Chain A
Amino acid sequence: MKRPLGAGKKAGAADGKTIDPFRLPRDRAFWRETLAAYWYLIPAFLVLGTFVFYPFFSAFKLSLFKWSSLNPPGTFIGFENYRYIFHDKYFWRAMGHTFYYVGITVPVTLALSILVATLLNQGLRFLSFARTSFFLSYISPVVAMAMVWRWMYNVDYGLINYFLSFFHIDAIAWLNDPRYSLPAVILLSVWHYVGYQAIILLAGMQSIEQQYYDAAKVDGASGFQTWWKVTVPLLSPQIFFVFIISLIGSFKVFTEINVLLSGPGPLRSAETLVYYIIRSSGRIDHATNHIGRAAAASVVLFGIIFVFTIIQLTLTQKRVHYD
């Protein structure tokens, strides 16, 4: 392994965090460290390069072709696939549904999982049991979940409508009404992922050094103040992580929809971008296989999240508390 020499000296390790990441000083030490860093990256990038980047770039290529499996990738048609999807009303609807879904699911799940993690971090007993229970919803097979939730959403016998009847709300046809199909999926997703996210946040909380809490105690901070001023800021790397993962995962929602609604929902009311992509690739609903269109839609989806992620990375460069 190449020895990474004291790169920190010139850059100044202590204030390295405040340096604008886009304008790092590019001296000799920097390039030496770059070389060292690449050694660290090689194993992962070798695998990812072969099985993720390469197929991704070939997907990008496919988006410019009219697919033919006999003579792959088929006929070059320029941006015709993009033109097609941009003129397809179902693509735009799927885009709308996706943003609606992501916009609600991500913040709600995150807020709930912070609360759950906090609860599980209160030094209560039966913690192992509680943690395992919260994790179980995540590892139970989707079919089992969907069955339970199909019953929860049942118009006549479902728990949810029963609960709503206390508030004199009429029975809702959750799975068969275009207005409620997506909210039904959102609720299922929040429930499915909250335990998992809480476990990650909890691991983060437990890594927070006791000295910070001691300091807060000395300062006479109340429980809530300690949580708000110590726990949450120190947890920000994990919160940021969970946020991005949840954002990405939510943009890709598919299985929950397909299983819960047995398809894209009434009047295709819960068809998301990934549902659209998978349908275009011919995997479901006996659809014709238009790999090129599916690839084009994937590239658009990639573009959206890429922009989101870049914005996130830049914004949090300063905001996330890293030590």
Chain B
Amino acid sequence: MADPSRGQALETTRTESYYVARRRAYKAFLYILMFAGCAVMLLPFFWMLTTSFKTELEAMRMPPQWIPRTWLWENYPVALARAPFGRYFFNSFFVSILSTIGEVFTTILAAYAFAKMRFFGKNFLFALLLGTMMIPGEMLLIPNYVTLVRLNWFDHYEGLIIPWLASVFGIFLLRQFFRSLPDELWDSARIDGCRRFRYLWTIIVPLSKPAILTVALLKFLGSWNAYQWVLLMTNAQSMRTVPVGLTMFSSDIGTEYQLLMAASVVAIVPILILFFFTQKQFIQGVARTGIK
């Protein structure tokens, strides 16, 4: 703070209170903006939640009935009895957790190579990676189905987990974060005789905690919501996951909205809890690294 001129104390006070008021008005404006944004974003969730308590007639009504006349709690047990959701939840957790852990591992390695190492064919390989993200998944399904049948992973957890242990998206995201870390870290670590592999896990990874958590969270979310793959690569009830249960409320004639919404609410609760806690975690992660 610059040393204020003592003779003009009055002037300074007025200016400060003016700035305080201005800052307050600005803050208030930001809060209004934030809550308006939240309201718009929460709309579908609100709709989902209230619809899950409506009667079938109310769910179909136009103009819509926002709040159900009577709250129909039965929709929840009815919806959850439509399929073996207990097993589905177990499978969803099992598959999502394992593929998240596995993907984070492969992704850290590959992203590090792309971010911080120089090697032959780097740009080509990277563009190839990004390019494959463009292929509509539908085109890959038949060859993958045949591969899985040949590997005897069809209807097995292997088939639900191993093909998803790497993701271009994750590699790309993490590469971007790794690249923003200063190279000097490596230079000094190397002088201390640190090998690259150890350097990656003991220095780079802790520094990139928020980014890694973001990758893990998005992976978990993607894995949790995947259904096309699960439907195609399994036949056994016992191998299926929650989103497959959600598809069962729709037919070519229409959808049982109130049941679909009830089951959807149950299905996104784990994601919500996870998000709520990991977001705190990644703020702490940033704070703890000490470089902030």
Q: Which A residues fall within an 8 A CB radius of B?
A: 1, 3-4, 6-8, 11, 13-14, 16, 21-22, 24, 26, 30-31, 33-34, 36-38, 40-41, 43-48, 50-56, 58-59, 116, 119-120, 122, 124, 126, 128-137, 139-141, 143-145, 147-148, 151, 154, 156-157, 191, 195, 199-200, 203-204, 206-207, 209-210, 234, 237-238, 240-241, 244-245, 248, 251-252, 254, 274, 277-278, 281, 283, 291, 294-295, 298, 301-302, 304-306, 309-310, 313, 322-323
Contacts and interface: CB of A to CB of B under 8 A. Distances in A.
B98 interface: no
Chain A at the B interface: mostly helix, strand, loop or mixed? helix
B248 interface: no
Contacts of B264: 140-141, 143-144
Contacts of A54: 143, 147
Interface in B109-166: 109-110, 112-113, 117-120, 122-123, 125-136, 138-140, 142-144, 147, 162-166
B76 interface: no
Contact of B37 (A37, A119, A140, A151): A119
Contacts of A6: 190
B93 to A, nearest CB: 16
Report which residue of B118, B250, B272 has the largest number of chain A beta carbons within 10 angstroms of its beta carbon.
B118
Contacts of A31: 120
Contact of B144 (A26, A51, A128): A51
A102 to B, nearest CB: 12
B173 interface: yes
Given A129-B38, A310-B123, 10 more contacts: A8-B183, A8-B186, A21-B123, A45-B166, A51-B147, A136-B44, A137-B43, A139-B221, A154-B63, A206-B283
B176 A30 contact: no
Contacts, number: 294
B41 A313 contact: no
Contact of A132 (B31, B147, B276): B276
Contacts of B261: 144
B113 A52 contact: no
Contact of A48 (B120, B122, B132, B292): B132
Interface string B173-205: 100110111110011001000011100000000
Interface of B: 27, 30-31, 33-35, 37-38, 40-45, 47-48, 51, 62-64, 105-107, 109-110, 112-113, 117-120, 122-123, 125-136, 138-140, 142-144, 147, 162-166, 168-169, 171-173, 176-177, 179-183, 186-187, 190, 195-197, 210-211, 214, 221, 225, 246, 250, 255, 257, 260-261, 264, 267-268, 271-272, 275-276, 279-280, 282-283, 286, 291-292
Given A50-B163, A237-B179, A305 B131 contact: yes
Nearest to B141: A55
B33 A119 contact: yes
A13 B183 contact: yes
